[in-house]
Structures are given as C-alpha cells and as structure tokens.
A = this chain, B = another copy of it.
C-alpha cells in the first residue's frame, strides 16, 4: 500500500517567500530549489507545487491539487467551486487585506460607476470587473492588462481596476480611487472532495493548526517575573485580561513566579507599570508558536 499524499499548491511570486517563512515557523522544513517548481518539504505525506496565485483555485477545483494557498480575489476571478478552510493573515506582505479598486486619472470626469459606460477599462481581473459592471447595469470595454496597469490611464485606458494597499502607487501615477470593488486576504482552500475525505481533512486541519500557531506567535513574547504574594493582585491587574497568566509558587513561600504571553508592542507600555506594581526580575523571552 502506498503512502497517501496531500497535493498542496504554494503561490509563486510575491507571496512565495512569506509562505515559506510561515511554514518554517510552523515547523516544516520547506525549500525552493532554484529552477524547480516542486518545493521540497520534510513531510513525505505532502507534495508541494509552486503555481501562480492566479491559477491555484482553478487547479484545486478540478482536483489537480487537493488544496492550496491563494488570495480570495483569485477564487472569485476564476469563479472557482472550492471549500475555504481558513483565512491566513501572516507576515509583512499580506498582513493587511488587499483592495481592488476602480481608479481614474485625477482630472477625469468619471465620478460614479455609471460614468464608465462605453469606456476602456484595463485590469488583470477581467471577470470580476465584468460582473461588477453588469451589477451596475453598465457596458464597457474591459481589456486584460499584462502588467503596469497603473501607468495606462489616460492614454491607454480610461479607467483601471487594480490592487492597492496604501494607495501610494496610484497617487504616484496621478490616479484617483472612485470606489472599492473587492477586498481580499489569503485563504487556505480545498478541493470539495478532499475536504470531506477523512485522511486528507485531518491532514489539512493539523497543518492549519500549526500555521495558526506560528501566526499567533508573531509579535508575541513571553514575560516571566517574580512577585511578592502581597503584590500579586496589583500585578495581575496590570496584565491584559484576555490571556490568563501562569502562576507558580517558588521555594520561598512569600513569592510567586508569574508567566504571561503578551503582544510585543504592549510590553513597553506594561513593563514600567509592572515594575511600579512590585514585579521584579522581569525577563522577556521569545516564542515561536502559541496554540491556545
């Protein structure tokens, strides 16, 4: 009997490095051999394929892949019938959702969707744009753009539908946002059959548990401190309520050891207060995974 295998699609391009980093933090040794599209991973039950984010949903839908990571936007663009198992918000690159917006030159007369009637619109998401136009009862000429979409107006297009995070690239090209079309984050999607196959589902659930454990530990740190029992209540009042700290007794019966998990950027606000409340020997240490 052969080993069962989970066929997993990894998005090539801008998300690739961040995805690799997340898997590594989750405890998987993944690497991307140069010139190969088959990342190696130290789990013989997982087979990775590197594919453009735009195409992953298509191949998950038809079963060429069991599951994959891709943007919600490309699931919609491909109109793919797949099961979404988790939303993954990780790493610098994708921490904030991306926005697909309709943008026009600053001085363009276009102010509302209706003004697009008969215009040329350049975009990478032709299907999303056409459906959105249809929902507004507008007919326009939607052209697939191979790249550098934001430099096309006004000479090569009247409007564009383009992805943006901060809007700075649009402003730099003298474009104005008319309205939002779609907001998207990274998703872990599964083929509908794979999602109900017991072995594959458990394999995917365990993988997602670990990915989430690694994401939860990003920007979190551990804090240990010694507290006189008399001060314990005051010290605990300073700590945020959401995560219950671990309190252990010390040899000296008048003292306790408190350990808490905190947001890295809350620490600098809390430490001065903890010290004022009587904590001493405060030590901060790094974490790599948190599973609550």
Q: Which residues of A contact B (CB under 8 A)?
A: 12, 26-29, 35, 37-38, 42-43, 49-52, 54-55, 58-59, 64, 143, 145-148, 151, 155-156, 172, 205-206, 209-210, 213, 217, 221-222, 224, 226, 243-244, 246-252, 256-257, 259, 261, 264-265, 267-268, 271-272, 275, 280-292
Contacts and interface: CB of A to CB of B under 8 A. Distances in A.
Q: Which 6 A-B pairs have the closest CB atoms?
A: A284-B289, A27-B268, A37-B151, A247-B251, A52-B146, A282-B291
11 contacts: A12-B147, A28-B268, A51-B156, A206-B268, A210-B268, A217-B284, A248-B250, A251-B256, A282-B289, A284-B287, A284-B289
Nearest to A284: B289
A226 B206 contact: no
A265 B151 contact: no
B42 A272 contact: no
Given A155-B64, A287-B285, A289-B284, A51 B148 contact: yes
A20 B225 CA distance: 27
A21 to B, nearest CB: 15
A156 B29 CA distance: 25
Contacts of A49: 155
Contacts of A54: 146
A38 B42 CA distance: 36
Contact of A148 (B26, B37, B148, B210): B37
A172 to B, nearest CB: 8
Nearest to A9: B156
A12 B152 CA distance: 14
A265 B146 contact: no
A292 B279 CA distance: 9
Contact of A52 (B12, B147, B243): B147
Contacts of A42: 265
